[in-house]
Chains A and B, each alone.
Chain A
Amino acid sequence: MGVGGRMAAEPASGVTTPLAWRTAGWVLVPTVAPVVVGLVAPSSRPVQVAAIIVAVGLATLSFARLRALPVALFAAILTWLTIERLAVGAMSPRLDGNLLGALLAYKEAFFPVLALLLLPRVATVWARSPRDLRVLDALAIGFCLLVTLSALASGADLFDRLVNGRRLIQLPLIYLCVRLLSWDVESVRGLVLTVIVAAVAVSLFGLLEVSVAESLVWREAVPAAYFYHLSSEAGLSATGTDVPIAGLPVIFYDFTTGEPHRRLVATFLEPTTVASFLALGTALAAAWRPVRPMTLGAAIVIGAAVGLTLSKAGWAIVALAVGYVIVVSFVPRLRDPGWLISMTVTLICGLIVVAVLLEQAGAAPGPLAHFQGLQEGIASALRDPLGLGVGFGGNFGGSKIGAESTFGVTLVQVGWLGLVLWCGWLLALIVVTAIESSHVRGLAVIGLGLGAALCGYLGTAALTESAGGLLGNWLYAWIAAAVVTAAAGRRGEPAPHPVQSEATVPRAAVDGTAGVAGP
Chain B
Amino acid sequence: MIGSRTIDRIVQISAPIVATTLLAALVLVAVPPKAPTGAPSGPVGVDPGRVVALTDLPNADYDQIVNLAERGTEERASCTGPWVSAKILNWACRTPDTLVILRGRSRSAIEELDMTWFGFDPSRSDLAAWATAASRLEERELIAGWVRASAGSQATTTIGSIKLIAGGSRGAISLIVAGLPCQPRPVPSGGDVTC
Contact = CB atoms under 8 A, between A and B. Distances in A.
A248 B35 CA distance: 29
B101 A223 contact: no
A430 to B, nearest CB: 14
A362 B37 contact: yes
Interface in B10-31: 11-13, 15-17, 19-20, 23-24, 27-28, 31
Interface stretch (B51-59, B63-71, B165-173, B180-188): B165-173
A243 B38 contact: no
B34 A361 contact: yes
A229 B31 contact: no
Given A226-B172, A244-B174, A346-B20, A357 B12 contact: no
Contact of A258 (B19, B38, B120, B172): B38
Contacts of A9: none
Interface stretch (A148-156, A161-169, A193-201, A337-345): A337-345
Nearest to B35: A362
Where chain B touches its partner, the secondary structure class is mixed
B190 interface: no
A220 B170 contact: yes
Contact of B168 (A247, A336, A361): A247
A265 to B, nearest CB: 14
B116 to A, nearest CB: 5
A247 B32 contact: no
Given A258-B37, A358-B27, A226 B8 contact: no
Contact of A247 (B17, B19, B172): B172
Contacts of B13: 342
Nearest to B172: A225
A353 interface: yes
A229 B172 CA distance: 9
B8 A338 contact: yes
B172 A244 contact: yes
Given A92-B171, A353-B24, A358 B12 contact: no
B39 A258 contact: yes
A295 B167 CA distance: 43
B16 A342 contact: yes
A243 B168 CA distance: 12
B66 to A, nearest CB: 18
A469 B40 CA distance: 24
A242 B171 CA distance: 12
A366 interface: yes
A350 B22 CA distance: 9
B3 interface: no
Nearest to B32: A361
B92 interface: yes
Contacts of B8: 333, 336, 338-339
A246 B114 CA distance: 10
Interface string A233-257: 1000000001110111000000101
B16 A247 contact: no
Given A225-B116, A244-B168, A354 B35 contact: no
Given A93-B120, A243-B92, A346 B171 contact: no
A365 B31 CA distance: 13
Contacts of A242: 99, 118
A365 B171 contact: no
A189 B141 CA distance: 68
B36 interface: yes
A365 B37 contact: yes
A243 B12 contact: no
Given A233-B96, A353-B23, A353-B24, A246 B34 contact: no
A219 interface: yes
A416 to B, nearest CB: 21
B124 interface: no
Contact of B34 (A247, A248, A363): A363
B96 A226 contact: no
B45 interface: no
Contacts of B48: none
Given A247-B167, A258-B38, A338-B12, A223 B20 contact: no
A366 B167 CA distance: 28
30 contacts: A93-B120, A223-B169, A223-B170, A223-B171, A223-B172, A225-B116, A226-B170, A229-B97, A229-B118, A229-B171, A233-B96, A243-B99, A243-B101, A243-B116, A336-B8, A339-B8, A342-B11, A342-B12, A342-B13, A343-B15, A346-B16, A346-B20, A350-B20, A361-B27, A361-B33, A362-B33, A362-B37, A365-B36, A365-B37, A366-B39
Interface of B: 4, 8-9, 11-13, 15-17, 19-20, 23-24, 27-28, 31-39, 86, 92, 96-97, 99, 101, 116, 118-120, 167-172, 174
Interface of A: 92-93, 218-220, 223-227, 229-230, 233, 242-244, 246-248, 255, 257-258, 333, 336, 338-339, 341-343, 345-346, 349-350, 353-354, 357-358, 360-363, 365-366
3 nearest interchain CB pairs?
A: A226-B171, A258-B37, A223-B171
